[in-house]
């Protein structure tokens, strides 16, 4: 594992969302008939004001998550990225991904399905209306962000191809273009990047395919044109720039599990009680805040997803 992956980064003033910028983006959302009038009324809090105490659920307001935490700044979300196909340096990814071509683009959905299909990205985005979902992203490295995604439930796409009764898992393959993605030239990694979910996890309403953030098209560095988002799992489960989705009977291989099986299991649910072999997962640093806050079981989505793992030993299935 390269050390730059674990490097900590000082908090910069650019990590704090300027309110005017966020409201402008909300305006864009409204114009696109994607937002609500209420969205424009909400102010965006200053991330540095947040106290490092265990958060509790609050009435949902625009511009913040269900724990009342403000969205992370656009600048931080789009300039602090893990995307190994481009670089292991988080702050270099945005620049290196600038010229990456995301059109034309197709996504094959195949395997154990009655109606395998290849979708053109623009047809797909027209077919499934994009909605805003404000989710926490907790990286296995110990930092987190609150991201206002635009996307649609993966379940809608899977229903379209009619999974067969024998399908138990879903695998996701990221694009591999060494001529555009310099990081792929490193033979240390088992390219292409790939991830997997159990079928019931994939069909859960929280699981989305994201095509945008902050009401705009997804920037290349965040996984354009379409990436997976599974908010109760560590961020590495959310594969970027997906070109193939396959339904399988066997549990699929995953990129990080192939590299270090003792450190990264198939499930990778956010679990503060299960330390990574080399560090604790009990706390996290919210980008834009100083200090650390407690990490919540299933990243704060236990109410929605804990039932998926009833009866499972989460120390064994990490």
Counting DSSP H helices and E strands in the chain, the numbers are: 9, 12
Residue nearest to ligand MTE (CB): 235
Query: How many whole angstroms separate alpha carbon 11 and alpha carbon 19?
Result: 18
Tokens encoding 15:
């990590």
Strands 208-213 and 293-294 turn out to be unpaired
Q: Rounded to the nearest whole angstrom, what is the least distance from the CB of residue 198 to ligand MTE in the complex?
A: 19
For ligand MTE, the closer of residues 84 and 128 by Cβ is 84
Q: Rounded to the nearest whole angstrom, what is the least distance from the CB of residue 195 to ligand MTE in the complex?
A: 8
Ranges within 16-55 binding ligand MTE (CB under 6 A): none
For ligand MTE, the closer of residues 112 and 241 by Cβ is 241
Q: Rounded to the nearest whole angstrom, what is the least distance from the CB of residue 81 to ligand MTE in the complex?
A: 3
For ligand MTE, the closer of residues 238 and 254 by Cβ is 238
How many positions of this chain bind ligand MTE (CB under 6 A)?
Answer: 17
Q: Rounded to the nearest whole angstrom, what is the least distance from the CB of residue 109 to ligand MTE in the complex?
A: 18
Nearest to 170 by CA among 194, 206, 145: 194
Helices (H), 32-73: 37-41
For ligand MTE, the closer of residues 16 and 229 by Cβ is 229
For ligand MTE, the closer of residues 1 and 312 by Cβ is 1
- Please state the φ and ψ torsions of residue 290, each to the nearest 5 degrees: -95, 160
Chain-centre distance for alpha carbon 207: 9
Total residue length of the chain: 318
Among 239, 247, 296, 305, binds ligand MTE (CB under 6 A): 239
What does the radius of gyration of the chain's CA atoms come to, in whole angstroms? Answer: 19
Chain-centre distance for alpha carbon 13: 24
Among 135, 236, 264, 301, binds ligand MTE (CB under 6 A): 236
For ligand MTE, the closer of residues 212 and 223 by Cβ is 223
Eight-class DSSP state of 132: E
Query: How many whole angstroms separate alpha carbon 209 and alpha carbon 277?
Result: 30
Ranges within 77-136 binding ligand MTE (CB under 6 A): 81-85
Contact of 50 with 29, CB cutoff 8 Å? no
Ranges within 165-204 binding ligand MTE (CB under 6 A): 174, 193
Binding piece for ligand MTE, criterion CB under 6 A, among 65-73, 105-113, 161-169, 236-244: 236-244
- Please state the φ and ψ torsions of residue 160, each to the nearest 5 degrees: -60, -35
Query: How many whole angstroms separate alpha carbon 310 and alpha carbon 312?
Result: 6
Q: Rounded to the nearest whole angstrom, what is the least distance from the CB of residue 210 to ligand MTE in the complex?
A: 9
**Judged by CB under 6 A, does residue 137 bind ligand MTE?**
yes
For ligand MTE, the closer of residues 50 and 230 by Cβ is 230
Give the 3-state secondary structure of residue 170.
Answer: strand
Ranges within 268-307 binding ligand MTE (CB under 6 A): none
Binding residues for ligand MTE, per CB under 6 A? 81-85, 137, 139, 174, 193, 222-223, 235-236, 238-241
């Amino acid at each position: 594992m390269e050390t730059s992956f674990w490097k900590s980064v000082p908090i910069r003033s650019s990590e704090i969302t300027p309110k005017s910028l966020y409201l402008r983006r909300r305006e864009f959302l409204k114009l696109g008939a994607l937002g609500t009038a209420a969205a424009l009324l909400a102010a965006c809090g200053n991330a540095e004001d947040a106290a490092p105490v265990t958060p509790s659920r609050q009435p949902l307001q625009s511009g913040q998550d269900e724990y009342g935490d403000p969205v992370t700044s656009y600048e931080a979300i789009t300039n602090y990225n893990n995307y190994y196909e481009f670089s292991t340096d988080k702050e270099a990814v945005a620049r290196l991904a600038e010229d990456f071509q995301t059109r034309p683009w197709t996504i094959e959905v195949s395997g154990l399905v009655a109606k395998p299909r290849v979708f053109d990205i623009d047809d797909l985005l027209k077919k499934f209306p994009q909605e805003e979902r404000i989710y926490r992203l907790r990286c296995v490295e110990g930092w987190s962000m609150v991201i206002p995604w635009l996307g649609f439930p993966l379940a809608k796409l899977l229903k379209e191809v009619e999974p067969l009764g024998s399908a138990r898992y879903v695998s996701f393959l990221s694009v591999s273009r060494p001529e555009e993605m310099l990081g792929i030239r490193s033979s240390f990694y088992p390219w292409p990047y790939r991830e997997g979910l159990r079928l019931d996890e994939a069909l859960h309403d929280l699981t989305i395919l994201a095509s945008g953030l902050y009401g705009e098209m997804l920037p290349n560095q965040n996984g354009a044109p379409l990436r997976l988002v599974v908010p109760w799992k560590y961020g590495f489960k959310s594969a970027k720039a997906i070109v193939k989705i396959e339904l399988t009977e066997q549990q699929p291989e995953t990129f990080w599990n192939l590299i270090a099986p003792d450190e990264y299991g198939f499930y990778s649910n956010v679990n503060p009680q299960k330390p990574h072999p080399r560090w604790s997962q009990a706390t996290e640093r919210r980008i834009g805040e100083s200090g650390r806050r407690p990490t919540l079981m299933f990243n704060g989505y236990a109410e929605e997803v804990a039932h998926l793992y009833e009866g499972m030993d989460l120390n064994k299935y990490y």
